[in-house]
């Protein structure tokens, strides 16, 4: 039986898409990106079956790439701008900026059907790193919070792998498919 960790809005959608062939922090706005099954975003520096993020390659270059696609909720940009940080879609390195979906409340293994064909499976949370502070001083702290129990909340989006390829563009709908079995909360990957 499938269960939802949190209710999802029926109007979840893609707000913007981004890619970069460079190992840069920010990514560039595109009219569309193509997701390739088992690899990630076509032409993106982080695409591949094995890890591509430089810090992870240094640790184990043969580890599976659980960070093929980075999704970030547009609502975070509103929050950050309100806190005095001028950041906009693509600035934090995400491939897909979403709207009206609580990405952080998803369970590990949740599948997101994006547009007409693409499906990604959420593997975990993006762990904010010092690169965020290099982009704007103090921004890393603004992407972290504490919940009512004092646990650390990482707000910098989620990471996913590509299960089914396809083109993704702004305005595409997102449908949430919770995983089978017991729900596992997201952990950093």
DSSP for 124-170?
EE----HHHHHHSTTHHHHTEEE-TTS-EEE-S-EEEEEEE-EEE-T
Residue 22 lies in a domain: yes
89 within some domain: yes
SS3 state at 65: coil
Q: 36 phi and psi, to 5 degrees?
A: -115, 125
The structure's pTM equals 0.94
- CATH of residue 34's domain is 2.40.33.20
> Average model confidence (pLDDT) for the chain?
94
Closest CA to 70 of 47, 100, 38, 99: 47
In-domain check, residue 44: yes
The residue behind tokens 């099954």 is 37
Residue 96 within a domain:
yes
Structural domain includes residue 93: yes
Q: What residue numbers bound the domain in which 62 lies?
A: 13-177
The verdict on residue 6 lying in a domain is no
The total domain count for the chain is 1
Please check the confidence at residue 113 and state whether its pLDDT lies above 90: yes
Per-residue model confidence as pLDDT tens digits over 63-108: 999 999 999 999 999 999 999 999 999 999 999 999 999 999 999 9
């Amino acid at each position: 039986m499938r269960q939802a960790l949190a209710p999802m809005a029926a109007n979840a959608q893609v707000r913007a898409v981004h890619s970069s062939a460079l190992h840069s922090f920010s990514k560039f706005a595109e009219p569309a990106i193509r997701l390739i099954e088992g690899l990630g975003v076509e032409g993106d520096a982080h695409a591949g079956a094995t890890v591509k993020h430089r810090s992870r390659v240094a640790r184990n270059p043969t580890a599976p790439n659980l960070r093929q696609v980075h999704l970030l909720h547009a609502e975070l940009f509103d929050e950050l701008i309100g806190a005095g940080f001028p950041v906009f879609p693509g600035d934090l390195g995400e491939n897909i900026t979403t709207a009206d979906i609580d990405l952080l409340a998803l369970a590990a293994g949740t599948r997101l059907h994006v547009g007409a064909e693409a499906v990604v499976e959420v593997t975990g949370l993006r762990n904010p790193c010092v690169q965020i502070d290099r982009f704007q001083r103090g921004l890393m702290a603004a992407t972290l919070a504490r919940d009512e129990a004092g646990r650390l909340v990482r707000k910098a989006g989620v990471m996913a792998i590509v299960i089914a390829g396809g083109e993704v563009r702004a305005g595409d709908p997102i449908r949430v498919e919770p995983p089978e079995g017991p729900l596992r909360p997201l952990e950093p990957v």
